[in-house]
């Protein structure tokens, strides 16, 4: 698990909860009472369609969206997750559907993190803080899914591309990476674009930072302890 105060905001974090179970809304609210920095719940929705109707695109009043996966008998709501992520929202999937396949699919669809409902409120709170600043966070169940994945088709990344990836995963932005590695931010962007292109070329696209972290862990470029 990654737990760090580095990059955490000192201001309140605003979240929206999307879950069909009222008891989950109440439980999350209880867990977050007294959090420092404070976490403010600014919306409660029982279905993704309701949330998307209110927030079709990213909104400055909502920092993080907590999204469940089960709303009917049709299986995990991956399409809803995809739509919300494409709208620019920072999404944490919070679900009891915690198989390796489900977790990895959520990351592929754009979720920043996955926290199982069986995990503690501390994991959820840390994931929320990390999501606001786009800082990597890997909860225990998510870590196990990443380590268990044996996906083939590893791209050939240069030593410098690997160094840039690891540095970027450990910091907040490309400027910091550039200073750490003594290269220009534009060069950092180029290396990241090449790494993404190589993953896409072998059929393992990584459009988000969370997805790229997942690929790096799967391929042994990065360990969970490095985060």
Over range 33-45, report the average pLDDT: 95
* pLDDT tens digits, one per residue of 7-22: 455 689 999 999 999 9
Mean pLDDT of the chain: 87
**Counting beta carbons within 10 angstroms of the beta carbon of residue 226, is it exposed (0 to 12), middle (13 to 18) or buried (19 or more)?**
middle
Nearest Cα residue to 92 out of 140, 51, 49, 139:
139
* pLDDT tens digits, one per residue of 130-145: 898 877 788 999 988 8
> Which percentage of the chain shows pLDDT scores above 70?
94
Domains in the chain with CATH codes? 13-148 (3.40.50.2300), 159-226 (1.10.10)
Over range 143-156, report the average pLDDT: 77
- Of the listed ranges 4-18, 44-58, 156-170, 175-189, the one predicted with least confidence: 4-18
* SS3 (DSSP) at 75: coil
pTM of the model: 0.71
- Cα separations (Å) of 15 from 32, 43, 60, 93, 126? 11, 7, 11, 13, 13
Model pLDDT, residue 6: 40
* pLDDT tens digits, one per residue of 172-204: 789 999 999 999 988 898 889 888 888 887 888
Between helices 100-108 and 78-86, what is the axis angle to 10°? 30
Model pLDDT, residue 7: 43
Does residue 221 have a pLDDT over 60? yes
Nearest Cα residue to 96 out of 66, 124, 122, 70:
70
Model pLDDT, residue 109: 84
Model pLDDT, residue 150: 67
- Cα separations (Å) of 184 from 99, 133, 188? 40, 22, 7
* pLDDT tens digits, one per residue of 102-134: 998 888 888 889 999 999 999 999 999 989 887
8-state DSSP, 139: -
């Amino acid at each position: 698990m990654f737990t760090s105060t580095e990059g955490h905001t000192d201001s309140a974090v605003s979240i929206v909860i999307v879950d069909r179970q009222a008891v989950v809304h109440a439980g999350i609210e209880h867990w977050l009472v007294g959090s420092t920095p404070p976490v403010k719940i600014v919306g409660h929705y029982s279905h993704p369609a309701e949330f998307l109707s209110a927030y079709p695109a990213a909104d400055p009043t909502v920092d993080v969206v907590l999204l469940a996966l089960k709303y009917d008998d049709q299986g995990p709501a991956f399409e809803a997750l995809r739509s919300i992520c494409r709208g620019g929202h920072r999404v944490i999937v919070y679900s009891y559907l915690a198989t390796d396949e489900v977790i990895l699919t959520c990351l592929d669809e754009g979720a920043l993190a996955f926290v199982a409902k069986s995990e503690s409120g501390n994991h959820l709170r840390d994931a929320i803080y990390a999501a606001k600043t786009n800082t990597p966070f890997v909860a225990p169940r998510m870590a196990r899914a990443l380590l268990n994945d044996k996906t083939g088709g590893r791209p050939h990344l240069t030593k410098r591309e690997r160094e840039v990836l690891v540095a970027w995963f450990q910091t907040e932005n490309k400027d910091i990476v550039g200073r750490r590695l003594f290269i220009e931010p534009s060069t950092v962007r180029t290396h990241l674009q090449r790494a993404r292109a190589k993953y896409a070329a072998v059929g393992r696209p990584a459009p988000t930072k969370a997805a790229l972290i997942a690929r790096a862990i799967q391929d042994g470029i990065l360990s969970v302890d490095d985060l």
